[in-house]
Amino acid sequence: MKRSLLPIIAHRTAILFFIVFALFPLFWLLKVSVTPNDLLYSEGVRMWPSRTTFDHYTFVLRHSAFPTFFKNSLIVSASTAVVVTVCASLSGYALSRFSFRAKYWIVALMLLTQMFPLVMLVAPIFKILSPLGLTNSLTGLIIVYSAFNVPFATFLMQSFFDGIPKDLEEAAMIDGATKFTAFRQIILPLTLPGIAATLGFVFTAAWSELLFALMLINGNAAATFPVGLLTFVSKFSVDFGQMMAAGVLALIPAGLFFLLIQRYLVQGLTAGAVKG
């Protein structure tokens, strides 16, 4: 008995260690966000302050432009996630199921776009967007983010479509469905976990993107939340309490979003499709 218990304990300890390691920064974020300013530097390194306050949260919500950033980020991230997922579903399906002439080159081109350091592209993209009036606008950001995320999302969706047996669509077509009906009624419902994963991936990528948001947007009106966080850094000091409070608030939608889609992420919907 003793001998078989040891690996289990080691296994659990390793998992516990990993969880603590992964979540510690988040805990620190929370801790600093509730620490009153006067205690921040005076108490040394402590796991929890002797006195807590929600002043930072109140300030961030009432007196900063944070609600605007928050709303902008939500619009940009949600729109990007939806646009990218719709495009990637269609293109991923095409890559998975059809053979067409330029397929090889299209895939190669899409891979190529993933290799550029984004910094190189900031200036040309600014040049392109500015005459179109798309700088300093949420629409511009959505377009740029979508363009960057579609290739990877396409490969992601393709792998999900590859996992669905071709027999299912063929059976549907023989049952009387057009190719598109079979896609909509049979394949798409089975790809929900993949769609959820893609939505989640793109949403978080857009939610935390800083480089383009910083370069394409100036002023608070169209700033997203990562840019907004920088406003807590002033010339002479960093207001850590408020910054952390804003950070905690920014975690909420991402958390909610994953709560919403986790059902699909873990569900093995294709089980039982074919022999088993």
Partner 1 sequence: MASIEIEKLEKSYGHVSVLHGVDLDIRDGEFIVLVGPSGCGKSTLLRMIAGLEGVSKGEIRIAGNRVNDLHPKDRDIAMVFQSYALYPHMSVAANMSYSLRLRKMAKEKIGAAVASAASKLGLEPLLERRPKALSGGQRQRVAMGRAIVRQPKAFLFDEPLSNLDARLREQMRAEIKKMHGDLKATSIYVTHDQIEAMTLADRIVAMHGGVVQQVGSPLELYDRPANLFVAGFIGSPGMNFLEATCSGGSVRLKDGSEIEARLHTSTPEGSSLTLGIRPEHVVITRDGSGRRATVELIEPTGFGIILHLSLHGIPFKVFTLDRQALAVTGEITVSFPPEYIHLFDGEGTRIG
- Which residues are at the interface with partner 1 (CB under 8 A)? 165, 167-168, 170-178, 181, 186, 189-190, 269-276
User: Is the Cβ–Cβ distance between 249 and 70 less than 8 Å?
Assistant: yes
Name which of 41 and 180 has its Cβ closer to partner 1: 180
Q: Shortest Cβ distance from residue 272 to partner 1 (Å)?
A: 3
Q: Shortest Cβ distance from residue 61 to partner 1 (Å)?
A: 42
Distances (CA, A) of 221 to 23, 68, 91, 248, 276: 33, 7, 34, 22, 56
The angle subtended at Cα 174 by Cα 169 and Cα 176, nearest 5°, is 100
Residue 219 CA, chain-centre distance (Å), reads: 24
Q: 238: phi > 0 → left, psi -120 to 50 → alpha, else beta; which? A: beta
Q: Shortest Cβ distance from residue 240 to partner 1 (Å)?
A: 49
Q: Shortest Cβ distance from residue 182 to partner 1 (Å)?
A: 9
Name which of 30 and 173 has its Cβ closer to partner 1: 173
Q: Within the chain, where are the H helices? A: 2-33, 37-40, 55-63, 66-97, 103-113, 118-129, 138-162, 166-175, 179-182, 188-190, 192-207, 211-216, 225-230, 240-266
Name which of 99 and 234 has its Cβ closer to partner 1: 99
The two tokens of residue 11 are 């296994």
Name which of 162 and 170 has its Cβ closer to partner 1: 170
Name which of 58 and 185 has its Cβ closer to partner 1: 185
Q: Shortest Cβ distance from residue 258 to partner 1 (Å)?
A: 23
